[in-house]
Amino acid sequence: MHKLVLTITLCLSTIVLTAQNIYTQNRQEAMRYLQKAEMQKRGGNYNNAILEYTNAIEVDRNFAEAYMKRALMLQQMGRYEESKRDYDTAISINPDSDVYFDQRARLQLLQGNYKDAITDLSKALELSDYDAYYLDARALAELENKDYPEAIEDLTFILSLNPNDTIAYLKRAITFTRADDYDAALADINSAMKLSPYSELVYDVKGLFHLNFGENEEAEKAFTKAIDLNPTFAIAYFNRSISRKKLNKLDESLSDLNIAISLNQNFANAYFNRAVTLKNMGNIEQAVEDYSKAIGIKSDFTDALFNRGFSKTMLGSYAEAIIDFDRSVQSDPTDPEAYNMRGNINSFFGKYNRAVDDYTQAIELNKEYAEAYFNRGITHILNYSIIDGCADLEKSNQMGFEKAEQKLRHFCGGPQ
């Protein structure tokens, strides 16, 4: 009996040792693939790097670091959904790594998934004794998610640890500004100014504060001071252009945008704002060029896609415009105006069923969208669906859309 037990024990030990050897060999082989991937990455061969990371994962399915490395590479390439899957797998293998939760939170921030980013950063904070970056990043996510009290609490804690942190005061000032707390925001700006009286960033935030509360002349002065302190501060020129536009100083506003772009040729928002200004000044073709530059820098720039499409309709380039509205809808499927505009072009080309679908989607997203009801009504009538068309025109008229009553009289015998 004892011999049998001993024999079984020896067999089990052999099995365990064999499994450990296989595990060690697999991990070593996976590490070699990981090293190859890093070399490919450093050489700028991103697709080859992805292949090597995948080889490492194929060899060792429990190698969390390989999933993490591939997730980072996919994120850098803009393949966010695939990146997210790899982060999820890495965390399922090693749920005790604060770094993994932090990395996934960074992806969530890039995608605008602020609530999920907050959850991940909170978990990272639980797993680490204390990390100022995690707390600061969570405050940013809370700010963007409009969780102002939580963001203020995090920033206040950071300041309790370092009362001389100028940047933390400025971030809290921005949060108070977003929360429309005038006095608290101004107090934080003054505290930052005492700590860093020659910081262009302090004056830029002060300008944003005044801009938020409609104090446009004070905003212009603050941005000008920021520029005086740092004449190469592109963001300050951009922000001053906004204050000057609100003050109806259109030429000076445009000049500021030109300088901002000359200082930073990858400033997508500056191209966008310059395009809007040019369009308002009647320079539609130049506006389209600037919208295109903004989109070239940021391919999913929804507002730029929409505005370029709208500008192209003003130039009569309907076939090109509908491509922009298609992309706009793909970029932001919750924007009713994009569906409405695409519906207009589909209707113009006689694609009435597609147009009706677009207007219907716009109405689903905004039940009070009187113009979409009007446009769908006209399109129904053009498609010989008179009853449905008149019902939509009646609905639009009840909502107060000015053009609806005239069309009701013309097509439907007047309001019911």
- Indicate the pTM of the whole model: 0.81
Report pLDDT for 90: 95
Alpha-carbon dihedral 134, 136, 137, 142, rounded to 10 degrees: 120
Per-residue pLDDT, 78: 87
Here the tokens at position 313 are 């309709």
Using one digit for the tens of pLDDT, what is the confidence trace for 363-412?
999 999 999 999 999 999 999 999 999 999 999 999 999 999 999 998 99
Whole-angstrom CA distances from 313 to 40, 284, 285, 345, 372 are 45, 10, 11, 8, 17
pLDDT for 414: 64
Question: Cβ(309)–Cβ(322) under 8 Å?
Answer: yes
Residue boundaries of the structural domains of the chain = 25-110, 147-197, 334-416
pLDDT at 416: 62
The mean pLDDT values, 10 residues at a time, for the chain of 416 residues are 50 48 71 89 90 92 93 92 95 95 94 94 90 92 96 96 96 97 98 97 98 98 98 97 96 97 97 95 95 94 94 94 94 94 94 96 96 96 94 95 92 77
Angle between helices 132-144 and 114-127 (to 10 degrees): 160
| CA atoms of 311 and 254, how far apart (whole Å) | 19
What topology does CATH give the domain 25-110?
1.25.40
With beta carbons less than 8 A apart as the criterion, state whether 204 and 233 touch. Answer: yes
Q: State how far the Cα of 324 lies from the Cα of 5, in Å rounded to an integer.
A: 75
- How far is residue 200's CA from residue 231's CA, in Å, rounded to a whole number? 10
Closest CA to 107 of 133, 127, 131, 81: 81
Same CATH topology for 147-197 and 334-416: the answer is yes
Q: What separation in angstroms does the CA of 93 have from each of 57, 88, 100, 213, 277?
A: 12, 9, 11, 49, 52
What Cα–Cα distance (Å) separates residue 144 from each residue in 119, 147, 150, 202, 325? 14, 8, 11, 20, 27
**Superfamily of domain 334-416 in the CATH hierarchy:** Tetratricopeptide repeat domain (1.25.40.10)
**What pLDDT is recorded for position 4?**
47
DSSP state of 413: S
Contact status, residue 91 vs residue 84, Cβ threshold 8 Å = no
- Backbone φ and ψ for 64, nearest 5 degrees, come out as -60, -40
- Residue 20: predicted pLDDT: 47
Gap between the Cα atoms of 138 and 149, Å rounded: 12
- Tens digits of per-residue pLDDT, 5-54? 555 554 545 544 454 454 567 888 888 988 998 998 888 899 999 999 99
Please report, as a single letter, which amino acid is at residue 191: S
CATH H superfamily, domain 147-197? Tetratricopeptide repeat domain (1.25.40.10)
Q: Which two tokens stand for residue 22?
A: 């296989």
pLDDT of 19 reads 42
- Report the distance separating Cα 399 and Cα 395, nearest Å: 6
